[in-house]
Structure 1
Amino acid sequence: MAELPDLSISPGKAYFIIAKARQFDAKDGVTDPDSGSNASDNGTRSVLENRTDDPVRTELVSFIHDLNNDEQTDLVALTWLGRGDGDIESWDELRAEAARAHNKRTAAYPLGMPMLADHLEEEALSKFGHSSEEVEADLF
């Protein structure tokens, strides 16, 4: 078996993104865009809606933005790997394409991908031999 390529992004950072992406993906569409009430009047239902000023989205975009270019490149390549745009043997090509596509919108790009967390965790990081249990063990 060939040696797996090294990742620039740590499993801990990747799994943080996965956890936040799951929170973000759980949001529902906006039901009352012109609501004048405050959150306590509507039972704080608005926190479950996918709004442009959503704090989970803001935190996730900020976290990805703060990654260095190599980490951002790996993140994009991992999402492509996870959605089936290549396989582990074509990692260098996926990563090279992600590096060519890198721009100032890279932080927001993954959030537009349906099933981002699944692609990263189940389809990509697992191919590199990483699991959420490994990260949890490192934290505790």
Structure 2
Amino acid sequence: MEPATPIEMLCRIVLRAREYEAQTGTDYDGGEAPENVDGEDGEALSVLDDSINGAVEEELTAAFEDLADDQLAEVLAFCWVGAGTYDVSEWDEALEEAGVQTNIPAELMDMPMLASVLESGMAAFELSCDGIGDLA
């Protein structure tokens, strides 16, 4: 299969999605540590801090904006195949359904594990980012 979206662009999306999904742990206590059951100060809460991902989010959004409508639909269809929503044999149906979706970039940005499902969908068609740019 030869995708309508250049493989380099698909791999750029995978790379940026990985960065976007990456979170760093931080200790945050909201100004004060919670109390233990016995009334003593507890440990600071360990939470995920995603504030560092603003630039990566912008890059990922820009990558989606660089795609034509049919390419965005293709990316979404790859994700659906990767997530198991559609099988490889149902590619035409997945692509058709993706083509009628509105606001695909927002749907992709909200998709859990975007990088993984996109890569899995690509792999189902024997497409890989091996040897491409930073993913080599």
- Normalised by the shorter chain, which TM-score bucket? 0.7 to 0.9
CA contact (8 A) 1:30 1:50 kept: no
Structure 1 partner of 2:106: 108
Mapped pair 1:117 → 2:115: yes
Q: In the aligned structure 1, how far is the partner of 2:19 from the partner of 2:53?
A: 15
Match of 1:82 in 2: 82
TM superposition outliers: structure 1 runs of 4+ over 3 Å: 28-32
Partner residue in 2 for 1:23: 19
Between 1:63-72 and 1:49-58, the stretch displaced more is 49-58
Structure 1: gaps (5+ residues) = 35-47
Q: Percent identity?
A: 28
Are the equivalent residues in 2 in contact too, given 1:65–1:106 (CA < 8 A)? no
Deviation at 1:49, TM superposition (A): 3.1
| TM-score for both structures, normalised by structure 2 | 0.74
In the alignment, which residue of structure 1 is the partner of 2:34? none
Q: Aligned runs of 1:30-41 on 2, under 5 Å?
A: none
Pick one of 120, 126, 131 that aligns with 2:123: 126
Q: Secondary structure at the match of 1:61?
A: helix
Give the TM-score, by structure 1 length. 0.72
Q: Which has the higher strand share?
A: 2
Query: What is the root-mean-square deviation of aligned Cα atoms in Å?
Result: 2.9
Query: How far apart, in 2, do the equivalents of 1:97 and 1:128 lie?
Result: 18
Q: Deviations over 1:27-56 (max 9, x none)?
A: 258977x9xxxxxxxxxxxxx832498110
- Between the aligned partners of 1:30 and 1:55, the Cα distance in structure 2 is 19
Larger radius of gyration: 2
Q: Which amino acid aligns with 1:129?
A: E
Task: Give the letter for the 2:118 counterpart.
Answer: L
Q: Is the 8 A contact 2:82 2:124 kept in 1?
A: no
Structure 2 residues not aligned, in runs of 5+: 31-47
Q: Which secondary structure does the structure 1 equivalent of 2:100 belong to? A: helix
In the superposition, relative to structure 1, how do residues 71 and 29 fare at CA in structure 2: closer, same or farther (>3 Å)?
Answer: farther
Contact 1:20–1:56, Cα closer than 8 Å, also in 2:
yes
